[in-house]
Amino acid sequence: MTKNRFLLLVLFTALVSLLITVKVYAQDPAPTPAAATVPSDNEVNLVAKKLYCPVCPNTPLDVCETQACKDWRAQIRDQLASGWTEQEVMDYFVKQYGERVLAEPERGGFTSLVWMLPLLIVALGLVFVGLVLKSWRASRLSRPLVQPEPQTGISKQILDKIEAEIRNMD
Amino acid sequence: MIPDIGLIALIIAFGLSVYATLLSVNGGMSKRLEWVASARNAIVAVFALLTISVLSIVYSLNALDFSQAYVADVSSRAMSPFLRITALWGGQQGSVLFWAWLMAGFVAVVVIRKWDADRELMPYVMFVAMLTTTFFVGVVVFITNPFTKMWLVPGAQDLVIAIFPPLNGQQYIPADGSGLNPLLRHFGMIGHPPTTYLGFTGFVIPFSFAIAALMKNDTTSDQWIRTVRRWTLVAWIFLSIGLILGGRWAYDVLGWGGFWGWDPVENAMLMPWLTGTAFLHSVMMTEKRGMLKKWNILLIILTYSLSLFGTFITRTGVIGSVHAFSKTALGPAFLIFISITFLGAMVLLMMRWNSLKAEHELESLFSREAAFVLQNMLFLAITIAVLWGTVFPLITELFTETKITVGPPYFKKVTGPMFLALITLMGITPMLAWRKQTLNKLLSRLAVPLAGASITAIAWALLNPKSPAISLFSIAMVAFVTLSILAEFWRGARIRMSTRGENPFTAFIKLVINNRRRFGGYIIHLGVVMIALGFIGDAFYKQETQGTLSAGESLTIGEYSLRFDGLEGYMGSDGREIVEASTVLFKDGQQVKVLKPRRDYFVVQQQPVSIAGVYSTAGEDVYVLLVGWESISNQNTTFKIYVNPLINWVWIGGFVLALGVLIGTWSQARGRSEATYSLKNQPDEGAVVGTATAPGIGD
């Protein structure tokens, strides 16, 4: 074995050890043994709630009563029991049955449009309201300041009385 | 025999609808009153004939005449007479006829009641209303005819459904019908569908008046807008009650512990309600200030088009949903009709754009006008967001060929903040006067409600330490609106007490009676706030747990625990197998109620329905579902428990809302016209600025 080759081997070993160390440290400091606990119904439902039944129309998976959905919930339980994270379970369902199983549309890709339009509408709406109010104020300012008295048909006496009553109220 | 009479009446009704449509508009344009009068008689006759048609179906449903395809489809021997009769709107054919009948009824009432009041406009109103009615009656005759029979044809696989016998056809009469969809076999069947339909069809009247005014170019007079407002209120309250009853039904029957699931069919009802609500507010701007005329007409057009769109969604099943129970050729017909209605109305509005000049002037941003404009924008933005979320799965499928779901999280996240903004406005706006309000006066009026709101929020946070900030803000706003409305009642009553020496009770009653529109409006707002409280409880404080028990064991949630005592199975009425659990609910160790959650299995339809066991108080519901079991034994029985705080405020709010509408619309009924005033065409200076009588919802 040449000196160069020996050096390469040492480097390689060091690198692999380092990577393993990093990997170990990056993991949960006290990993729980996966098969030790069976997830409770509530833990299963917490995930199922975020999914829709792949076959029944508009039914969340946690409340769907068909046999198929019971099986899917059992599957989620098994997956959680073998240590899958919530995200992994959801990814699995999306891969198997398509995006329609997600209760909440994804915020990337084409479906980000569903989230963007309402924001845009509100923003445009506020601008529109602002412009409208501004133009209404402008139309008032452009009016002549002195106007003829309106023909209200109410005598000065009555008007004074009303004014007086209004003052008394507050 | 009886069905034949119904069929003949239906066909004559269609002929007369066409007649009334053509004659009314011709009579109006050529000013031939006798034509218009004849059209009116035809309209009344259409309603009478459709009534005969409806009655004949009700008769067949109850008499179990299974020679009729519709009866065989939705009625059955096992069903009670109550359910057999309500089956009129339990399937597609019957419900479209029911729909057409209600619409014809509205039109008939209008031509009889308003004959002298709006004579100039009436021919055009009749034309628009009858055009729509003709479409619906036409659909009943040609597409969803409820008088078809079933025929066996040699060589054909399926039964042929037709009115007249096909070649070599032999009539098939089953011994029993399939009966209603199990989810529809509920007492709510008498309430939710009819009120919803009344709401949807009722909007045809405001729409017809608005289009008639555009056609006749009669937009300078404001008489029609008052008529429109009253009829919108009629349709609106039916739709509101329909929405609430629908929520209650979902809560009782669908077995998921909630009352509003943002299902496409629910959204279809919500959208016209939102635009209708916006209109009921903006129309005040027209009445009081002569503002927003075009906007009002636009809102009426939108409301009516969205009602049609709602019908389209409910009746055609275009967007798969638990409510849509069939798919037929109805879709294209509807889509074309909605497009023509919407585009035609919009073109007409564009043509009259310039003649709809309103007097728009704004004195200050601290004015009721500004708040109303903002509020209208929010209502429309919510409508668009809901519409977008509802149709987005179709759009995605069209463009990317991927099926997606837009579920409750989208609707909650997007519309929640906007609803919260609306509630906030609801507390502020009544404190604002028309034209302008000085900031000092506004702040002095807001001080007490705001202080009360802060105290409520702090108290709430102490009682519910885990509350998210947004829920605390929501609770604060609910308290704020409630207090600001109560302050209005207090201010008014106090004045009466001091100026007239009335006792508090009399002062309060007389205050409401003498200002029905305004205080009716406030009462409606109180109802809305209560409903909001129910939604806040549902969004932030709902708890659930699920567990599997053997007899004697308990499942705990919060301060409650549920003990399972045993399971039994028996046959129920209506062809259902029932499995029922006996459980006892304890609160803090004290027994509060025996609950019997059960699962009904409809054998013929092979469909299960969960009936929850519910312990209900003003503060919260404990809602127990029987989820699963292993044969009929006392072991391994699974329960799901929901604790639904504040949910009962949704139903209480519904009652209060209806009460408010009754009070607010009572005025003319007693023959004494209410003293309302208009601020239109008055000078700026020295006008009734910040009037003491001012800030009423109904004013």
- The secondary structure of B49-107 as a DSSP string is HHHHHHHHHHHHHHHT-TTBHHHHHH--TTS-HHHHHHGGGSSHHHHHHHHHHHHHHHH
Highest mean pLDDT among A67-76, A107-116, A156-165, B198-207: B198-207
Q: Any CB–CB contact under 8 A between A114 and chain B?
A: yes
| Residue A31 banded pLDDT, cuts 50, 70, 90 | very low
Contact A57 B608 (CB under 8 A): no
Q: Give ∠ CA B67-B71-B72 in degrees, rounded to 5.
A: 70
What is the rounded distance in angstroms from the CA atom of residue B473 to the CA atom of residue A112?
Answer: 28
Q: Is B192 exposed, middle or buried (0-12, 13-18, 19+ CB in 10 A)?
A: buried
Smallest CA–CA distance from B318 into chain A, residue: A57
Range(s) of the domain holding residue A93: 43-110
Q: What own/partner pairs with CB < 8 Å and gap ≥ 24 does B76-80 have? A: B76/B176, B76/B177, B76/B178, B76/B179, B76/B180, B76/B575, B76/B604, B77/B176, B77/B177, B78/B176, B78/B179, B78/B573, B78/B574, B78/B575, B79/B179, B79/B180, B79/B185, B79/B574, B80/B573, B80/B574
Q: Are B308 and B341 contacting, i.e. CB atoms less than 8 angstroms apart? A: yes
Q: What is the mean pLDDT of residues A56-85?
A: 86
What is the rounded distance in angstroms from the CA atom of residue B27 to the CA atom of residue B16?
Answer: 16
What is the rounded distance in angstroms from the CA atom of residue B615 to the CA atom of residue B51?
Answer: 42
Domain membership flag for residue A31: no
Smallest CA–CA distance from B361 into chain A, residue: A136
- Helix%, strand%, coil% for chain B, nearest 5: 60, 10, 25
The pLDDT of residue B285: 85
Q: Which residues in chain B are contacts of A114 at CB distance < 8 A?
A: 388-389, 392, 406, 410
Domain membership flag for residue A166: no
Q: Give ∠ CA B299-B301-B305 in degrees, rounded to 5.
A: 115
Q: How far is B199 from chain A (nearest CA, A)?
A: 25
Domain membership flag for residue A163: no
The pLDDT of residue B238: 95
Q: Which of B202, B205, B209, B247 is nearest to B99 (CA)?
A: B202
What is the rounded distance in angstroms from the CA atom of residue B482 to the CA atom of residue B505?
Answer: 19
The pLDDT of residue B278: 95
Q: What is the mean pLDDT of residues A122-129?
A: 93
The pLDDT of residue B400: 84
Domain membership flag for residue A61: yes
The pLDDT of residue A142: 62
Beta strand pairing status for B149-152 and B170-171? antiparallel
What is the rounded distance in angstroms from the CA atom of residue B698 to the CA atom of residue B675?
Answer: 12
CATH code for the domain of A104: 1.10.8.640
As separate numbers, helices (DSSP H) first and strands (DSSP E) second, chain A gives: 6, 0
Domain membership flag for residue A62: yes
Residues shown for chain A: 170
Residue B6 amino acid letter? G
| Residue A29 banded pLDDT, cuts 50, 70, 90 | very low
DSSP B687: S
H/E segment holding residue B582? strand B576-587
Domain membership flag for residue A134: no
Question: pLDDT (tens digit, 9 = 90+) per residue, B590-637?
Answer: 999 999 999 999 888 888 888 999 999 989 999 999 988 887 677 889
As separate numbers, helices (DSSP H) first and strands (DSSP E) second, chain B gives: 19, 13
Residue of A38, A63, A97, A162 best to disrupt the B interface, most CBs of B under 10 A: A63
Instruction: Count the domains in chain A.
Output: 1
Domain membership flag for residue A125: no
How much is the mean pLDDT over chain A? Answer: 75
Q: How far is B686 from chain A (nearest CA, A)?
A: 10
The pLDDT of residue B223: 77
Positions of chain B with pLDDT lower than 70, given as ranges:
219-221, 317-329, 358, 632, 667-699
The pLDDT of residue B696: 38
The pLDDT of residue A7: 57
Q: Considering Cα of B504, then B508, then B510, then B515, what sign does the dihedral take?
A: positive
Q: Helix (H, G, I), strand (E, B), or coil: what is residue B562?
A: strand
What is the rounded distance in angstroms from the CA atom of residue B324 to the CA atom of residue B317?
Answer: 5
Contact A105 B256 (CB under 8 A): no
Whether the model pTM is above 0.95: no
Contact A169 B548 (CB under 8 A): no
Q: Which residue has the higher pLDDT, A165 or B309?
A: B309
Domain membership flag for residue A2: no
Q: Considering Cα of B453, then B454, then B460, then B466, what sign does the dihedral take?
A: positive
User: Hey, what are B242's tokens?
Assistant: 């329909």
Contact B407 A40 (CB under 8 A): no
Contact B404 A102 (CB under 8 A): yes
The pLDDT of residue B287: 82
Q: Any CB–CB contact under 8 A between A71 and chain B?
A: no
What is the rounded distance in angstroms from the CA atom of residue A85 to the CA atom of residue B283?
Answer: 54
